[in-house]
């Protein structure tokens, strides 16, 4: 189908990039990329045509202007055009290169050769229209937190080695990047759910790309209600990289699938939203063990009290 996607081009001061990425994600963007243009940044974003009318785009331009004014920066310029499916699918990929995250991960775009002589855990990724390329601060925070949480998990699953299996739930799995990262770190099984069927499809595809068995990574469409039906017992760990308001709404349901020793990683939270999320968690018996920050985003590392 021709002309089925909006391409948004936003020229802005580099310091505004992260807040613009957040606005675009909240607006429904299916993919973002950025490049440097002189002293400015050019942010590109893509979303289905049916998802936004011209008035919606004009309202987005106003929000971007207000965000910039609040921090004393010049107003970003927003331009849009309709492009076809094929152009959308390939246009942003040229800007995405392999990226090291934390101490152990390397995110490698699926269309590029595998790196040679690396000791890092390589996640091959083709996010398609799903959120989660590793470029966003919240995804990086979650991968780094998973490194810490799973550092003691045995890495060998061969033979009769005694081990304590770690079962994880990935809520809002997007491209599956966090689920795959957890498996590579030694989690025995990850249940990955997302309300977006395209995200679930992306997780299936990336599971195959990374040679992860279907027994160890189980994607499903839906949210915590679906998760509660497919898990065999309460999970050992949870990773949830979605918006703060949604996390707050889901806390009671998430708590219901845990056990006394369960830990969790919550991100997708702006620093100014962290207190409201922490308050909701504490009301349901969670303890915030650490808060990690990256730019204006944060990640809550929590455990059951």
Map out the domains of the chain with their CATH numbers. 5-93 (3.30.70.260), 99-304 (3.40.50.150)
At 156 the pLDDT is: 45
State the Cα–Cα distance between residues 297 and 302, nearest whole angstrom. 16
Take residue 112 and report the two structure tokens written for it: 């590029």
Instruction: Show the 3-state SS of the chain.
Output: CCCCEEEEEEEECHHHHHHHHHHHHHHCCCEEEEEEECCEEEEEEEEEHHHCCHHHHHHHHHHHHHHHHHCCCCCCEEEEEEECHHHHHHHCHHHCCCEEECCCEEEEECCCCCCCCCCCEEEEECCCCCCCCCCCHHHHHHHHHHHHHCCCCCCCCCCCCCCCCCEEEEECCCCCHHHHHHHHCCCCEEEEEECCHHHHHHHHHHHHHCCCCCCCEEEEECCHHHHHHHCCCCEEEEEEECCHHHHHHHHHHHHCCEEEEEEEEEEEEEHHHHHHHHHHHHHCCEEEEEEEEECCEEEEEEEEC
State the Cα–Cα distance between residues 228 and 241, nearest whole angstrom. 18
- 111: alpha, beta or left? (left if phi > 0; alpha if psi -120 to 50): alpha
Q: What is the pTM of this model?
A: 0.74
Take residue 115 and report the two structure tokens written for it: 């790196």
State the Cα–Cα distance between residues 158 and 249, nearest whole angstrom. 40
Residues in the chain with pLDDT < 50? 1-2, 154-161
At 84 the pLDDT is: 78
State the Cα–Cα distance between residues 192 and 173, nearest whole angstrom. 6
At 112 the pLDDT is: 85
Residue with tokens 């309709």: 82
State the Cα–Cα distance between residues 145 and 264, nearest whole angstrom. 10
pLDDT in tens, 151-170: 855 444 444 445 578 999 99
At 158 the pLDDT is: 41
The whole-angstrom distance between residue 163's C-alpha and the CA centroid of its chain comes to 29
State the Cα–Cα distance between residues 249 and 140, nearest whole angstrom. 24
State the Cα–Cα distance between residues 128 and 202, nearest whole angstrom. 6
pLDDT in tens, 35-78: 888 899 999 888 888 888 888 898 899 989 998 998 889 999 99
State the Cα–Cα distance between residues 2 and 151, nearest whole angstrom. 48
At 253 the pLDDT is: 97
- Other Cβ atoms closer than 10 A to 19: 20
State the Cα–Cα distance between residues 146 and 151, nearest whole angstrom. 8
Mean pLDDT of the chain: 87
Take residue 66 and report the two structure tokens written for it: 């207000």
At 258 the pLDDT is: 96
At 160 the pLDDT is: 47
At 94 the pLDDT is: 67
């Amino acid at each position: 189908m021709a002309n089925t996607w909006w391409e948004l081009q936003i020229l802005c001061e580099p310091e505004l990039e992260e807040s613009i990425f957040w606005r675009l994600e909240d607006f429904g963007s299916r993919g973002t990329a950025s490049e440097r243009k002189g002293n400015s940044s050019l942010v590109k974003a893509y979303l289905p045509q049916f998802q936004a009318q011209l008035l919606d785009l004009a309202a987005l331009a106003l929000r971007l202007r207000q965000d910039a004014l609040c921090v004393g920066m010049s107003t970003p310029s927003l331009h849009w055009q309709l492009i076809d499916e094929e152009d959308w699918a390939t246009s942003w990929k040229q800007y995405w290169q392999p990226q090291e995250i934390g101490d152990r991960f390397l995110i490698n775009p699926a269309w590029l050769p595998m790196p040679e002589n690396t000791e890092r855990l390589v996640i091959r990724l083709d996010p398609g229209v799903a959120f989660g390329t590793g470029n966003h601060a919240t995804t990086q925070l979650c991968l780094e937190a998973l490194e810490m949480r799973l550092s003691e998990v045995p890495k060998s699953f061969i033979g009769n080695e005694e081990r304590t299996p770690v079962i994880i739930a990935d809520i809002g799995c997007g491209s599956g990047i966090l689920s795959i990262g957890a498996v590579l770190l030694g989690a025995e099984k990850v249940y990955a759910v997302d309300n977006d069927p395209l995200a679930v499809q992306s997780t299936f595809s990336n599971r195959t790309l990374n040679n992860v068995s279907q027994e160890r990574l189980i994607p499903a469409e839906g949210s915590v209600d679906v998760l509660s039906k497919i898990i065999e017992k309460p999970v050992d760990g949870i990773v949830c990289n979605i918006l703060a308001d949604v996390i707050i709404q889901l806390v009671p349901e998430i708590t219901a699938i845990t056990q006394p020793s369960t830990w969790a990683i919550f991100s997708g939270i702006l620093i100014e939203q962290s207190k409201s999320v922490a308050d909701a968690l504490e009301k349901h018996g969670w303890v915030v063990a650490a808060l990690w920050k990256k730019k204006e985003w944060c990640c809550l590392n929590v455990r059951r009290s």
